[in-house]
Amino acid sequence: MLKTKTISTLLLTGFFALSLLCTVVRAQSISYPIDIEQYKMIQYDSNHLKFPAGDSHFNHFYNKLDRLLTTGEGQINIVHIGGSHVQADVFTGQCRKRFQSFDAGQNAGRGYVFPYRMAHTNGPNSYYFRYSDNWTTCRNVDQNPLCVTGIGGIAARSTDSISSMTIIIKPNEDYDYRFNRVKIMHNTQNDCYKLSLDSAIIKSIITHTDSGYTQILLNRFVDSLNFKFVKTDSIQRYIEFYGMLIESDDPGIIYHNLGINGASTSSFLSSARLELELPSLKPDLMIFGLGINDAHSREFNNIAFENRYQELCNRVLKANPEAAIIFITNNDSYLSKRNVNRNGARVQESMYLLATKNKMAVWDLYEVMGGVNSVLKWQIENLAQNDKIHFTHKGYILLGDLLFDAIIHDFGQYLEEQATP
């Protein structure tokens, strides 16, 4: 089932014209390519990407996006890392929805998935897993975890002779996430269990030992896949599963959400397989949403924070030197529901310093929200939860729309500049 994507000249012309129109109109009144709810406390005129040291590093990403839209060729990988704002996939799910549907359908796959329920925690609702009951789990926020973690910050481990999983994509009338290509990330050394699948649907299967995953090409599109890890030799001790990538051969966009509740920059730096697995995602755009947990303390050290973030940037750029990076500032928040968290402004400053050093972008959520104490106004509008840290479902949907709009607005400006003689 090849999902053909034909981009009409009329549609593209309309999109480019709309981007140009939005740029002109914003100087007078706020206008958006998508319908975003309006609230008095939100600073819509600040909702754009900011480039304190220039935007040239985004040219590769925008070139690929332009090529995809004009020719219907290529795939783009967007990787969004964060904590609880990301794990449930409401915020990132809305971004995915916008990116994959804004122009004639750009769905190239669901992206990274993991059986979060196995770890007794929440997860996305677009899929689910069935699995044998012999797994234990660990996360990059755990004290003394029993296993290592990778890009997803989470892992499952089994020592039984046979351990199984089944990924099942939930039916969705709007988005078809059936797949014909997967990457299963697992330990691939000789003393680890062997991966087993139904050969009837397998076109090819290759284990990339040095990259830590097995790629499986299927001979048709499916909405579920069962696989087993089997002990085939006495020297084999265990299996560790780090997640899988649900992909297709279709051109389009894949939006990966990598979130762990409570995660900080230190948490993802402690994921031992992060650097090993990043190239398997081939990030064209990396969106960093870490910081709220780093700064949820009066002992916040902004210098140490910036150093940890820089190390994360180094690892991303090693995986893809042409990757574009967006730093998201912290949302306004409270400490213990009672005291304003003044670290929001300090993280904001750090993000601009990081963007300057790496010649990348900032999406200033702190400013867009309305600055210090704005979370109270979001709470009144039922956009923020009572803990004054997290957002409601409605609030996360709004964040997804705002972030998408900021990126697409900047992409529209890029197209104008390219069209200018």
For residues 326 and 187, membership in a common domain is answered with: no
Using the 3D structure, point to which of 205, 223, 249 is the last residue of a domain: 249
Using the 3D structure, point to which of 187, 219, 249 is the last residue of a domain: 249
For residues 395 and 412, membership in a common domain is answered with: yes
For residues 195 and 276, membership in a common domain is answered with: no
The count of structural domains within the chain is 2
CATH code for the domain in which residue 154 is found: 2.60.120.260
Measured CA to CA, the distance from residue 10 to residue 13 in angstroms comes to: 5
Per the listing, tokens 């284990």 go with 207
Using the 3D structure, point to which of 200, 228, 249 is the last residue of a domain: 249
Dihedral sign from CA coordinates of 398, 403, 405, 406: positive
Per DSSP, the three-state class of 327 is strand
Dihedral sign from CA coordinates of 110, 113, 115, 116: negative
3-state DSSP: the chain helix, strand, coil percent, rounded to 5? 35, 25, 40
Q: Which long-range contacts (CB under 8 A, 24 or more apart) does 61-64 make?
A: 61/284, 61/285, 61/322, 61/323, 61/324, 62/411, 62/414, 62/415, 64/284
For residues 77 and 184, membership in a common domain is answered with: no
Q: Print burial letters for 395-421: b (CB count within 10 Å at least 16), e (below 16).
A: bbbbbbbbbbbbbbbbbbbbbeeeeee
pLDDT of residue 338: 87
- Burial (Cβ within 10 Å: 0-12, 13-18, ≥19) of residue 241: buried
pLDDT of residue 189: 82
For residues 288 and 414, membership in a common domain is answered with: yes
- Helices and strands: H and E segment counts in the chain: 11, 19
Structure tokens belonging to residue 289: 């949403």
For residues 115 and 225, membership in a common domain is answered with: yes
pLDDT of residue 28: 30
E strands in 88-176: 111-113, 127-131, 136-139, 154-158, 162-169
For residues 13 and 58, membership in a common domain is answered with: yes
Per the listing, tokens 């089994």 go with 158
pLDDT in tens, the chain (421 residues): 344 333 333 334 445 444 444 433 333 333 445 788 899 999 999 999 999 999 999 999 999 999 999 999 999 999 999 999 999 999 999 999 999 988 767 999 999 999 999 999 999 999 999 999 899 999 999 998 889 999 999 999 999 999 999 999 999 877 899 999 999 999 998 778 889 998 899 999 999 999 999 999 999 999 999 999 999 888 888 899 999 999 999 999 999 999 999 999 999 999 999 999 999 999 999 999 999 999 998 899 999 999 999 999 999 999 999 999 999 999 999 998 889 999 999 999 999 999 999 999 999 999 999 999 999 999 999 999 999 999 999 999 999 999 999 999 999 999 999 888 7
For residues 417 and 276, membership in a common domain is answered with: yes
The parent domain of residue 407 ranges over 1-108+251-421
Query: Per-residue DSSP letters for 149-160?
Result: --TTSEEEEE-S
For residues 265 and 306, membership in a common domain is answered with: yes
The answer to whether the beta carbons of residues 5 and 102 sit under 8 Å apart is no
Question: Which residues are CB-contacts of 360 (< 8 A; sequence separation ≥ 6)?
Answer: 51, 57, 313, 324, 325, 326, 327, 354
